C-alpha cells in the first residue's frame, strides 16, 4: 500500500506509523508534499526516507507516486484547499479535522465533493471509539427509547497547548469550537441519530489565558518564572502539566486579542436536533490533573446512558425496571481506541471499493457548519440556524 501525504507533521506521522502500520505493516510512504522537507524527513522511517519523493503539488504527487491512499495532515487552514484537490481523484483520503475553518471554505469543500468519487475518512476518533460505538448500539437497541436529551462535557487537562503552540494562531484555527468542539458536536449528532439545526452559544475570553506579555516571550527569558504557575519548575513542583519544558508564554500578545480573534478559555452551546430533542455541550480549557473529563449523559423516557472516556465506563439506568448496569472498557487506548478504528476504515477503503467510511466528508461538514453557527451565536448573542449539508 503506497501512501501519499500532504503535510507530514506530528499528528499524521503518528497516525500512519501508529495505527495504520499496525493494521497494514506493508505500507510505504512514497510521496510527500510539505515545504519543510527537513522536518518531514526527520519523521520518516529509515526505509521510507530512501523511497519517499517530495513533490511541489498534490497533483504532481498523484501522477508520479501513484498512491493507493492520500493523507492530509497540514494545519487547519489548509485542509479545505488540499481536500478540494484530492476530490478530483478516486483515491481514499484520510482528512484531518476540522475539514474547514470558514463558511466560504466549507461551502466550496461541499461543492467539490458533490460529484466526487473520493471516499473520505474524516479524523474523528471519538465517533468511532469503541465506547461511543457501543453506546450507539445500545441506543439502537432501544435502551433509552427515543433519545430526547444529551449533556456533553469536555474538561481539558492539557488546554495550555492552545496558548503555547501553533494552535494559538487564530488565523489558522479560528477558535476552539472548530479546533476541539468539532469532535464532540460530531459524536453528539451520531449518538442522537440526528443533525443539529440550531445553536445558542457563549464563550469567555482572556479571563485566564492570553494577555499583554511581549511577543516571543518564553519562560527561560521571563523574570517572573519564579512565581508564575506555568513555568516549567512550578508545573513540575505542582504536577500540573501538561509538560515541563521551556515554552512560549501563554499570557503573551501572540495569543491574539478580542479584536483580532483569540481562543476561548471556556465555551458552551445549547443545541437543537432535527428530531426536536435538545442538548448542551461545554468545554473548559484551564482545568488540570484529574479534573479531566470527556463524555456525555443521554436520556430518553425509557432510560439513561452515561459514559466518560477517562473513566472507561458506561452506565445504564433503566427508568422503569429496578436494574442498572456498569460496563467497563479496556483502558490505555490511543484517543480512546478511536485512532485504530479510523485506520481500520482507511485500510478497508483501500482494499474494498464498496466499503463505506464511518466518518465520510458529510460528517466533517455537518460538524463544521455547527461550529460556525456556535461562533456566530456567541459573537452576535443570539440563536443561529445551522446550515445543513446538501442545503
Ligand X SMILES: NC(=O)c1ccc[n+]([C@@H]2O[C@H](COP(=O)([O-])OP(=O)(O)OC[C@H]3O[C@@H](n4cnc5c(N)ncnc54)[C@H](O)[C@@H]3O)[C@@H](O)[C@H]2O)c1
The cell numbers describing 140, all together, are 439502537
CB of 238 to ligand X, least distance (A): 26
Q: Which is nearer to ligand X, 14 or 232 (CB)?
A: 14
Q: Which is nearer to ligand X, 11 or 318 (CB)?
A: 11
- Secondary structure string (H, E, C) spanning 162-228: HHHCHHHCHHHHCCHHHHHHHHHHHHHHHHHCCCEEEEEEEEECCCCCCCCECCCCEHHHCCCCCCC
Written as one string, the DSSP assignment of 97-113 is SPS-SSHHHHHHHHHHH
Closest-CB residue for ligand X?
9
CB of 268 to ligand X, least distance (A): 21
CB of 328 to ligand X, least distance (A): 24
Q: Which is nearer to ligand X, 74 or 268 (CB)?
A: 74
Q: Are 7 and 115 in contact (CB under 8 A)?
A: no
φ/ψ of residue 358, rounded to 5: -85, -10
Contact footprint for ligand X (CB under 6 A): 6-12, 33-36, 39-40, 73-76, 78, 96-97, 123, 125, 166, 335
CB of 254 to ligand X, least distance (A): 16
Q: Which is nearer to ligand X, 166 or 246 (CB)?
A: 166
Q: In 3D, which of 192, 85, 86, 181 has the Cα closest to residue 124?
A: 181
CB of 156 to ligand X, least distance (A): 12
- Integer Cα distance of 90 and 115 in angstroms: 11
- Integer Cα distance of 274 and 57 in angstroms: 41
Q: Are 314 and 295 in contact (CB under 8 A)?
A: no
CB of 40 to ligand X, least distance (A): 5
Q: Which is nearer to ligand X, 95 or 228 (CB)?
A: 95
Q: Which is nearer to ligand X, 182 or 231 (CB)?
A: 182
For residue 326, give every residue at least 6 positions away whose Cβ sits within 8 Å of its Cβ, in sequence order, or none.
Answer: 313, 314, 315, 316
- Integer Cα distance of 117 and 93 in angstroms: 11
Q: Which is nearer to ligand X, 55 or 209 (CB)?
A: 55
CB of 55 to ligand X, least distance (A): 10
- Integer Cα distance of 368 and 71 in angstroms: 19
Q: Which is nearer to ligand X, 61 or 386 (CB)?
A: 61
SS3 content of the chain, % helix, strand, coil (to 5): 40, 25, 40
CB of 92 to ligand X, least distance (A): 17
The cell numbers describing 178, all together, are 472548530
- Integer Cα distance of 223 and 255 in angstroms: 19
CB of 233 to ligand X, least distance (A): 26
Burial of residue 223 (number of CB atoms within 10 Å: 0-12, 13-18, 19+): exposed
Q: Which is nearer to ligand X, 39 or 276 (CB)?
A: 39
Amino acid at each position: 500500500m503506497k501512501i501519499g501525504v500532504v503535510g507530514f507533521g506530528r499528528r499524521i506521522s503518528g497516525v500512519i506509523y501508529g495505527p495504520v502500520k499496525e493494521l497494514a505493516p506493508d505500507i510505504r510512504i512514497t510521496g510527500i508534499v510539505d515545504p519543510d522537507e527537513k522536518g518531514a524527513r526527520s519523521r520518516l522511517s529509515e526505509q521510507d526516507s530512501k523511497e519517499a519523493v517530495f513533490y511541489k503539488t498534490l497533483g504532481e504527487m498523484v501522477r508520479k507516486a501513484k498512491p493507493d491512499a492520500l493523507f492530509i495532515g497540514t494545519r487547519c487552514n489548509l485542509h479545505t484547499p488540499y481536500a478540494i484537490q484530492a476530490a478530483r481523484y478516486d483515491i481514499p483520503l484520510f482528512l484531518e479535522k476540522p475539514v474547514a475553518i470558514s463558511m466560504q471554505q466549507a461551502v466550496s469543500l461541499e461543492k467539490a465533493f458533490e460529484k466526487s468519487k473520493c471516499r473520505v475518512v474524516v479524523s474523528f476518533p471519538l465517533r468511532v471509539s469503541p465506547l461511543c460505538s457501543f453506546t450507539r448500539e445500545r441506543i439502537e437497541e432501544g435502551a433509552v427509547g427515543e433519545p430526547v436529551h444529551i449533556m456533553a462535557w469536555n474538561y481539558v487537562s492539557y488546554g495550555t497547548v492552545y496558548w503555547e503552540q501553533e494552535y494559538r494562531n487564530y488565523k489558522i484555527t479560528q477558535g476552539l469550537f472548530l479546533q476541539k468542539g468539532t469532535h464532540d458536536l460530531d459524536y453528539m449528532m451520531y449518538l442522537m441519530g440526528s443533525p443539529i439545526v440550531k445553536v445558542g452559544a457563549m464563550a469567555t475570553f482572556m479571563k485566564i489565558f492570553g494577555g499583554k506579555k511581549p511577543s516571543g516571550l518564553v519562560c527561560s527569558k521571563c523574570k517572573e518564572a519564579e512565581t508564575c504557575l506555568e513555568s516549567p519548575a512550578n508545573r513540575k513542583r505542582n504536577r500540573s502539566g501538561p509538560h515541563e519544558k521551556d515554552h512560549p508564554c501563554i499570557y503573551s500578545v501572540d495569543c491574539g486579542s478580542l479584536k483580532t480573534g483569540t481562543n476561548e478559555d471556556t465555551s458552551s452551546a445549547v443545541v437543537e436536533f432535527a428530531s426536536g430533542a435538545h442538548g448542551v455541550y461545554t468545554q473548559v480549557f484551564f482545568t488540570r490533573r484529574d479534573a479531566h473529563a470527556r463524555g456525555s449523559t443521554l436520556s430518553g423516557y425509557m432510560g439513561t446512558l452515561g459514559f466518560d472516556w477517562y473513566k472507561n465506563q458506561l452506565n445504564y439506568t433503566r427508568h422503569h425496571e429496578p436494574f442498572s448496569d456498569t460496563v467497563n472498557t479496556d483502558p490505555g487506548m490511543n484517543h480512546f481506541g478511536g485512532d485504530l478504528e479510523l485506520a481500520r476504515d482507511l485500510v478497508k477503503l483501500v482494499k474494498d471499493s464498496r466499503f463505506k467510511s464511518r466518518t465520510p466528508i458529510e460528517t466533517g461538514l455537518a460538524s463544521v457548519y455547527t461550529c460556525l453557527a456556535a461562533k456566530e451565536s456567541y459573537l452576535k448573542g443570539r440563536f443561529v440556524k445551522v446550515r445543513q449539508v446538501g442545503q
